[in-house]
Chain A
Amino acid sequence: MTAVTHDRTTTGVSKETRAKITWSLLDIVVVVFALVPVLWIASLSFKTPATLSDGNFIPREWTLENYRVIFSTDQFVRALINSIGIALIATAVAVVLGTMAAYAVARLDFPGKGLLVGVSLLIAMFPQVSLVSPLFDIERRLGLFDTWPGLILPYITFALPLAIYTLSAFFKQIPWDLEKAAKMDGATQAQAFRRVIAPLAAPGVFTTAILVFIFCWNDFLFAMSLTSTEQSRTVPVALSFFTGESQFEDPTGAISAAAVVITIPIILFVLFFQRRIVSGLTNGAVKG
């Protein structure tokens, strides 16, 4: 209890109200803690070069110049296209493969299931940097180095355990009696799947797609090691290259603007699908 609430308690504020105030204060702490770094980078992106290093949290002069600059450079636009394309393709493939495997894990009985679950668990814990050296060499030989597929492949690999876990947790929740009921009602296997099971599985698949996309969107290590030119460099890597490029021009504003741009999809996902993301992550955690 803080001093603010203390003198109120004497005037008979109910226990419930006090609890609400306590929770509100805690809520505010969490929200501030979570948002300040994001707001700070956004603030930097709107500052003019003159006020950039004034140390003020809120810009004194606002400008969109930084955004104009990055969108006029090929370097950023190209990286943005790479990021979007690579993340979307990797997500699509990982979700399709993950759905197939998760269905088998959740619904079918076959030898080797435990092994698959074990292997994906191992990969979830795998130190990605251990793959950097060998993949670097292998991809150079196969001509995959510095290409989209060269990044998509490791992304799929490391997204699959996540996809399999979350999806099989979702699939286990589907009441499979419904499939039997649909068959009794005269549905074929395909109809039972399309009319009854698919509508129930769709939210889980969608949630998984968001989580996988966030994972791919976030990667830095692979993108840094397995690309060398603008051809397949993604935004997080391009950001770090802004720095060295222009010695006389402070890249802070441009980096901040680019950082804000790639944060927008994350913010949108979180705002619109908060409930789903939370349930996707927590489901998977409980189930294994």
Chain B
Amino acid sequence: MTQLSEGKRQERRLGWLLCAPAAFVMVAVTAYPILYSVWLSLQRFDLKFPDEREFVGLDNYVTVLTNEYWWNAFGVTMLITVVTVAVELVLGMGLALIMHRTLVGRGLVRTAALIPYGIVTVVAAFSWRYAWTPDTGYLANLITPDGAPLTERAGSLAIIILAEIWKTTPFMALLLMAGLALVPEELLRAASMDGASAWQRFTKVMLPVMKPAILVALLFRTLDAVRVFDNIFVLTAGSNETSSVSMIAFNNLLRGLNLGIGSTMSVLIFLTVAIIAFVFVKLFGTAAPGASDDGRR
């Protein structure tokens, strides 16, 4: 008995030992700063006036939450999130089907699709920016002759959304393709024998089996979309009221050097993401990722 539990204890010790460095780094670089950030958000702390640092309670939250720039950025972020995720779900599903089932050039399609996934967002953003720049770009006159879509709000938002969709649809598609691979070919054959049309096979057979994969993809992409920053920075730098929450938090810090307000925004963004994640997990229960912890063997 003692000998046996010794082996078990060794296994535990090895497990902890192997996980410790990764766990330590992850916690040290996220948990501590986020707590520190909560602490900072309760203070007046402007690096331009370091001497005026003082504890102000929830004043910063009041300042941010009554500020129209914050709410505008919040609205922009939500708009971008909802539109990109919805469009990507449809396009991603299509792309996943093509990558999974195409009879010709499967390798070519998959390789091509991986390029947007792998490319540096800033590079892609510059490409889109120049594409829509008057004179320089091949797309500039596409919608309106001698228009400059990046100088007005609707055009800018549309281009930001386009750039986001281009960049992240392949990732969505790959996650969905993982779900597609789980659909047994025999099930589809059985459905066609039973007289199901292609559309019925898709909605009645494939979608139910893919549901967990779809939820994982939606969750990851939604939380990723809320973080939108790179594309906005390059495409508009937040002009014409196109800032996302990440964008104004960043500006507050590096342009405004206001750590107190910046931290308040950090905490609010963190809470937003936490609420979204919580709602997802609540709505979909055990289908959430990480629930399948089947352990060894």
Contacts and interface: CB of A to CB of B under 8 A. Distances in A.
Q: Touching in the complex, A and B, CB below 8 A?
A: yes
Interface of A: 19-20, 23-24, 26-27, 30-31, 33-35, 37-38, 40-41, 44, 52-57, 97-98, 100-101, 103-114, 116-138, 153-154, 156-157, 160-161, 164, 176, 214, 217-218, 220-221, 224-225, 235-236, 239-240, 252, 255-256, 259, 262-263, 266-267, 269-271, 274-275, 277-278, 281-283, 285-288
Name A's interface SS.
helix
Given A105-B19, A108-B12, 17 more contacts: A19-B103, A31-B109, A41-B130, A55-B136, A100-B22, A117-B290, A119-B26, A130-B266, A130-B267, A131-B33, A137-B40, A153-B25, A218-B120, A221-B229, A221-B230, A274-B110, A286-B178
A53 B136 contact: yes
Contact of B111 (A123, A157, A176, A274): A274
Contact of B269 (A33, A107, A127): A127
Interface in B7-52: 11-12, 14-16, 18-19, 21-23, 25-27, 29-30, 32-34, 36-37, 40
Given A274-B107, A277-B114, A109 B295 contact: yes
A100 to B, nearest CB: 4
Given A57-B138, A100-B19, A286-B213, A123 B30 contact: yes
Most buried by B among A101, A138, A154, A225: A101
A108 B15 contact: yes
Given A123-B30, A129-B266, A288 B140 contact: no
A266 B121 CA distance: 12
B276 to A, nearest CB: 9
Contact of B36 (A33, A116, A138, A239): A138
Nearest to B39: A134
Interface in B117-164: 117-124, 126-128, 130-131, 135-138, 140-141
A255 B112 contact: no
B89 interface: no
7 closest A-B pairs by beta carbon, nearest first, are A110-B15, A134-B33, A282-B178, A157-B29, A104-B18, A129-B246, A101-B22
A56 B136 CA distance: 8
B11 A109 contact: yes
A225 B253 contact: yes
A101 B19 contact: yes
Contact of B266 (A133, A214, A269, A285): A133
B188 interface: no
B104 A129 contact: no
A36 B33 CA distance: 40
B104 A27 contact: yes
15 contacts: A20-B104, A23-B105, A34-B113, A53-B136, A97-B25, A111-B12, A123-B26, A127-B273, A129-B249, A220-B121, A220-B229, A224-B254, A259-B122, A269-B118, A277-B114
A90 to B, nearest CB: 11
Interface of B: 11-12, 14-16, 18-19, 21-23, 25-27, 29-30, 32-34, 36-37, 40, 95, 98, 102-105, 107-124, 126-128, 130-131, 135-138, 140-141, 166, 170-171, 174-175, 177-179, 181-182, 213, 216-217, 219-220, 223, 226-227, 229-230, 233-234, 245-246, 249-250, 253-254, 259, 262-263, 265-267, 269-270, 272-273, 277, 289-293, 295-297
Question: Taking each of A98, A154, A220, which has the highest tally of chain B beta carbons within 10 Å of its own beta carbon?
Answer: A220
Q: Which of A53, A132, A134 has the most CB of B within 10 A?
A: A134
A100 B23 CA distance: 11
Contacts of B170: 34
Contacts of B21: 97, 100-101
Contacts of B104: 20, 23-24, 27
Contact of A37 (B112, B127, B233, B273): B127
A285 B29 contact: no
A279 to B, nearest CB: 10
A54 to B, nearest CB: 8
Contacts of B18: 100-101, 103-104, 108
Contacts of B14: 104, 108, 110
B88 to A, nearest CB: 13
Contact of A23 (B37, B102, B121, B273): B102
B285 to A, nearest CB: 15
Contacts of A57: 138
A252 B135 CA distance: 13
B112 A217 contact: no
Given A55-B138, A130-B270, A266-B119, A282 B36 contact: no
Contact of B181 (A30, A114, A129, A286): A286
Contacts of A117: 290, 293
Nearest to B173: A30
A101 B291 CA distance: 18
A35 B115 CA distance: 8
A34 B118 CA distance: 11
